[in-house]
Amino acid sequence: MNEHYDNENVAAERILIAVDGPAASGKGTIARALASHFKLPHMDTGMLYRAVALNLWRWGGDPSSEFEALRGCDVAAVDPADAELRSEAVSSIASRISAYPSVRAALLDRQRQFAGQPGGAVLDGRDIGTVVAPEADAKLFVTAAAEVRAQRRVRELLERGLPAHYEDVLTDIRARDERDTNRQISPLAQAHDADLLDTSGLDIDQAIAEAIRLVERRLAARLSTQQT
Ligand code: CDP
């Protein structure tokens, strides 16, 4: 099998890449880097759930009510640059409301449309490779130890000028892992045909290089299947 994937030869082809993983695993940074490398549009699907959570939080809606969460699904008016989207309060509500089937259904079309663009796309989230885009050409499941993820998230929050305490963030990450993995609908799971990328011992440049290598290997394999 030719392991080398030539960007130029297949530039006109549709490339769909799914990146999934738990909180603060590095999947967002990796997805953005893949989008830039392969010149594809990128969607951070977690932002949709965060936008619903922010709506609900601002209205004083109750996250334990599926009905109220569904009312927050009109996310058109949410400013993607709103720093509050990344706050721990909103993260925690996002993780809770994302367990509701009606909320997931309300956000699914938008994600599938993005994935269906003619040239392809990169999407990152929890269920891209399993539910949103099971047909993706390359799927990565990005993970890292919970303690490493908590350290990264604290750094990220502080850099954004938001308050962050390591123990609280670690507790929250573990709670979110638990909820994301055990919910009934679209749980966080590695697709059977996804490549696992553990970033615990990698810095961001190494993680990106490894992600590109894994995706190129999948694309080269697809190319050789098409040619035979
Ligand atoms: O950046 P981080 O990984 O902490 O979170 P995110 O990707 O922005 O997602 C926020 C929350 O939305 C997560 O806790 C998930 O519960 C939920 N989510 C989901 O259920 N499905 C997705 N495709 C993306 C996010």
Instruction: For residues 58 and 10, give the distance between their C-alpha atoms in angstroms, rounded to a whole number.
Output: 46
> Which residues line ligand 1 at a C-beta cut-off of 6 Å?
23-24, 28, 45-46, 49-50, 91, 94-95, 98, 125-127, 176, 180
pLDDT at 139: 98
pLDDT at 1: 39
66 vs 27, 80, 100, CA distance in Å? 28, 23, 6
CA diameter of the chain: 58
Q: What is the pLDDT of residues 188-226, one digit of tens each?
A: 999 999 999 999 999 999 999 999 999 999 999 887 777
**162: pLDDT strictly greater than 90:** no
Task: Give the orientation angle of helix 204-227 with respect to helix 27-38, to 10 degrees.
Answer: 50
Is the distance from CB of 218 to CB of 211 less than 8 angstroms? no
**7-227 is a CATH 3.30.70.890 domain:** no
Q: What is the pLDDT of residues 35-72, one digit of tens each?
A: 999 999 999 999 999 999 999 999 999 999 999 999 99
Q: What percent of the chain has pLDDT over 70?
A: 94
Take atom 16 of ligand 1 and give the residue whose Cα is closest.
95
For residue 111, give the ligand 1 atom closest to its CA.
23
